[in-house]
Amino acid sequence: MNSSNRETAVFPGSFDPFTNGHIDLVKRACRTFDRVTIAILDNLDKNPLFTADERVEIISEIYADQHNIQVQKFAGLLVDFVKSVDSQVIIRGLRAISDYDYEAQMALMNRTLDPDVETFFLTSSEQNSYISSTLVKQVAKLKGDVSKLVHPIVVKALKSKLS
Ligand code: PNS
Protein backbone atom coordinates (compact mmCIF):
# COMPACT_ATOMS: atom_id res chain seq x y z
CA MET A 1 0.00 0.00 0.00
CA ASN A 2 1.54 3.34 -0.96
CA SER A 3 0.73 6.65 0.71
CA SER A 4 -1.41 8.01 -2.16
CA ASN A 5 -3.73 5.00 -1.92
CA ARG A 6 -4.30 5.53 1.79
CA GLU A 7 -6.16 8.77 1.25
CA THR A 8 -9.64 7.34 0.76
CA ALA A 9 -11.16 4.82 3.15
CA VAL A 10 -14.43 3.04 2.45
CA PHE A 11 -16.86 2.57 5.34
CA PRO A 12 -19.40 -0.01 4.10
CA GLY A 13 -22.63 -1.16 5.68
CA SER A 14 -26.38 -1.50 5.48
CA PHE A 15 -26.92 1.63 7.61
CA ASP A 16 -30.64 0.89 7.96
CA PRO A 17 -30.66 3.31 9.70
CA PHE A 18 -27.38 5.19 10.22
CA THR A 19 -26.76 5.47 14.00
CA ASN A 20 -24.64 7.54 16.38
CA GLY A 21 -22.28 4.54 16.47
CA HIS A 22 -21.70 4.97 12.72
CA ILE A 23 -21.22 8.74 13.15
CA ASP A 24 -18.60 8.04 15.82
CA LEU A 25 -16.72 5.64 13.51
CA VAL A 26 -16.76 8.07 10.57
CA LYS A 27 -15.33 10.78 12.86
CA ARG A 28 -12.55 8.42 13.98
CA ALA A 29 -11.79 7.34 10.39
CA CYS A 30 -11.49 11.00 9.32
CA ARG A 31 -8.64 11.45 11.81
CA THR A 32 -6.52 8.95 9.87
CA PHE A 33 -7.79 9.15 6.29
CA ASP A 34 -8.18 12.24 4.10
CA ARG A 35 -11.49 11.12 2.63
CA VAL A 36 -14.12 8.64 3.77
CA THR A 37 -16.63 7.13 1.38
CA ILE A 38 -19.69 5.75 3.14
CA ALA A 39 -20.78 2.80 0.98
CA ILE A 40 -24.40 1.76 1.42
CA LEU A 41 -25.22 -1.81 0.43
CA ASP A 42 -28.10 -1.89 -2.03
CA ASN A 43 -29.30 -5.38 -1.19
CA LEU A 44 -32.90 -6.23 -1.96
CA ASP A 45 -32.63 -9.57 -0.10
CA LYS A 46 -32.38 -7.76 3.23
CA ASN A 47 -35.83 -6.12 2.99
CA PRO A 48 -34.63 -2.82 4.48
CA LEU A 49 -36.81 -0.19 6.15
CA PHE A 50 -35.26 2.56 4.00
CA THR A 51 -34.45 2.10 0.32
CA ALA A 52 -30.79 2.53 -0.64
CA ASP A 53 -31.65 5.89 -2.24
CA GLU A 54 -33.37 7.06 0.95
CA ARG A 55 -30.33 6.03 2.99
CA VAL A 56 -28.04 7.91 0.58
CA GLU A 57 -30.25 10.99 0.96
CA ILE A 58 -30.37 10.81 4.79
CA ILE A 59 -26.63 10.26 5.26
CA SER A 60 -25.72 12.89 2.62
CA GLU A 61 -27.82 15.40 4.53
CA ILE A 62 -25.97 14.60 7.77
CA TYR A 63 -22.61 15.25 6.05
CA ALA A 64 -23.74 18.08 3.74
CA ASP A 65 -21.04 20.41 5.11
CA GLN A 66 -18.20 17.88 5.14
CA HIS A 67 -16.61 17.69 1.73
CA ASN A 68 -14.16 14.97 2.76
CA ILE A 69 -17.09 12.57 3.26
CA GLN A 70 -18.83 11.02 0.26
CA VAL A 71 -21.94 8.86 0.32
CA GLN A 72 -22.63 6.25 -2.36
CA LYS A 73 -24.67 3.09 -2.72
CA PHE A 74 -23.16 -0.07 -4.12
CA ALA A 75 -24.22 -3.53 -5.26
CA GLY A 76 -21.99 -6.51 -5.93
CA LEU A 77 -18.66 -7.20 -4.30
CA LEU A 78 -17.33 -4.69 -1.79
CA VAL A 79 -13.73 -5.10 -2.99
CA ASP A 80 -14.83 -4.08 -6.51
CA PHE A 81 -16.49 -0.97 -5.13
CA VAL A 82 -13.36 -0.15 -3.08
CA LYS A 83 -11.25 -0.34 -6.25
CA SER A 84 -13.78 1.76 -8.20
CA VAL A 85 -13.26 4.69 -5.81
CA ASP A 86 -9.49 4.25 -6.00
CA SER A 87 -9.14 3.02 -2.44
CA GLN A 88 -7.49 0.03 -0.74
CA VAL A 89 -8.98 0.46 2.70
CA ILE A 90 -12.15 -0.86 4.33
CA ILE A 91 -13.18 0.50 7.73
CA ARG A 92 -15.33 -1.63 10.02
CA GLY A 93 -16.39 -1.04 13.59
CA LEU A 94 -16.03 -3.54 16.42
CA ARG A 95 -18.44 -2.90 19.27
CA ALA A 96 -17.86 -6.04 21.30
CA ILE A 97 -16.04 -9.35 21.04
CA SER A 98 -19.28 -10.86 19.70
CA ASP A 99 -18.78 -8.84 16.48
CA TYR A 100 -15.37 -10.38 15.90
CA ASP A 101 -16.21 -13.72 14.22
CA TYR A 102 -18.41 -12.20 11.53
CA GLU A 103 -16.02 -9.30 10.95
CA ALA A 104 -12.94 -11.54 10.75
CA GLN A 105 -14.74 -13.82 8.26
CA MET A 106 -15.59 -10.85 6.05
CA ALA A 107 -12.11 -9.33 6.30
CA LEU A 108 -10.48 -12.64 5.35
CA MET A 109 -12.93 -13.20 2.49
CA ASN A 110 -12.23 -9.71 1.17
CA ARG A 111 -8.47 -10.34 1.46
CA THR A 112 -8.88 -13.58 -0.49
CA LEU A 113 -10.83 -11.74 -3.18
CA ASP A 114 -8.34 -8.88 -3.33
CA PRO A 115 -5.08 -9.09 -1.34
CA ASP A 116 -4.43 -5.37 -1.95
CA VAL A 117 -7.45 -4.33 0.08
CA GLU A 118 -6.86 -4.03 3.84
CA THR A 119 -9.57 -3.96 6.53
CA PHE A 120 -9.05 -1.59 9.47
CA PHE A 121 -11.10 -2.18 12.61
CA LEU A 122 -12.07 0.76 14.80
CA THR A 123 -13.64 0.47 18.24
CA SER A 124 -16.65 2.61 18.95
CA SER A 125 -16.82 4.85 22.00
CA GLU A 126 -18.30 3.21 25.11
CA GLN A 127 -21.56 5.14 24.97
CA ASN A 128 -22.14 3.92 21.41
CA SER A 129 -21.06 0.33 21.89
CA TYR A 130 -24.58 -0.99 22.54
CA ILE A 131 -26.28 0.75 19.61
CA SER A 132 -27.32 -1.35 16.63
CA SER A 133 -29.47 -0.45 13.64
CA THR A 134 -31.67 -3.47 14.38
CA LEU A 135 -32.46 -2.30 17.94
CA VAL A 136 -32.98 1.30 16.81
CA LYS A 137 -35.51 0.07 14.23
CA GLN A 138 -37.26 -2.10 16.81
CA VAL A 139 -37.53 0.74 19.36
CA ALA A 140 -38.68 3.24 16.70
CA LYS A 141 -41.33 0.83 15.41
CA LEU A 142 -42.64 0.50 18.99
CA LYS A 143 -42.77 4.33 19.23
CA GLY A 144 -39.84 4.54 21.67
CA ASP A 145 -37.52 7.56 21.86
CA VAL A 146 -34.43 7.04 19.69
CA SER A 147 -33.18 10.64 19.85
CA LYS A 148 -30.15 9.64 21.96
CA LEU A 149 -29.22 6.92 19.48
CA VAL A 150 -29.43 8.59 16.06
CA HIS A 151 -28.93 12.01 14.42
CA PRO A 152 -32.01 14.33 14.39
CA ILE A 153 -32.21 13.87 10.59
CA VAL A 154 -32.60 10.12 11.15
CA VAL A 155 -35.18 10.68 13.92
CA LYS A 156 -37.22 12.73 11.42
CA ALA A 157 -36.84 10.13 8.67
CA LEU A 158 -37.90 7.31 11.03
CA LYS A 159 -40.94 9.28 12.17
CA SER A 160 -42.08 9.95 8.62
CA LYS A 161 -41.38 6.36 7.47
CA LEU A 162 -43.23 4.79 10.42
CA SER A 163 -46.13 7.20 10.69
O1 PNS B 1 -23.85 -3.29 8.11
P2 PNS B 1 -23.64 -4.69 7.64
O3 PNS B 1 -24.97 -5.26 7.13
O4 PNS B 1 -23.01 -5.56 8.67
O5 PNS B 1 -22.65 -4.61 6.39
C6 PNS B 1 -22.28 -5.77 5.68
C7 PNS B 1 -21.54 -5.43 4.37
C8 PNS B 1 -22.32 -4.48 3.51
C9 PNS B 1 -20.20 -4.80 4.70
C10 PNS B 1 -21.31 -6.79 3.64
O11 PNS B 1 -22.53 -7.47 3.57
C12 PNS B 1 -20.74 -6.64 2.24
O13 PNS B 1 -19.61 -6.21 2.07
N14 PNS B 1 -21.53 -7.01 1.21
C15 PNS B 1 -21.12 -6.92 -0.17
C16 PNS B 1 -20.97 -8.31 -0.79
C17 PNS B 1 -19.55 -8.83 -0.67
O18 PNS B 1 -18.58 -8.19 -1.05
N19 PNS B 1 -19.42 -10.07 -0.10
C20 PNS B 1 -18.15 -10.73 0.05
C21 PNS B 1 -17.36 -10.25 1.25
S22 PNS B 1 -18.03 -10.76 2.78
Asked if pLDDT for residue 29 goes beyond 60, the answer is yes
**Contact 6/87 with Cβ under 8 angstroms?**
no
Tell me which amino acid residue 6 is: R
What residues contact residue 45 under an 8 Å CB cut-off, 6+ apart?
none
Atom index in ligand 1 nearest the CA of residue 90 equals 9
pLDDT of residue 43: 82
Q: How many Cβ atoms sit within 10 Å of the Cβ of residue 75?
A: 11
CA dihedral 79, 125, 136, 14 (to 10 degrees): -10
| Active site residue ranges | 22, 46, 95, 133
Which tens digit of pLDDT belongs to each residue from 126-153?
A: 998 899 999 999 999 999 999 999 999 9
Q: How many Cβ atoms sit within 10 Å of the Cβ of residue 125?
A: 12
Which tens digit of pLDDT belongs to each residue from 99-109?
A: 999 999 999 99
Ligand 1 center from residue 102 Cα (angstroms): 10
Ligand 1 center from residue 41 Cα (angstroms): 7
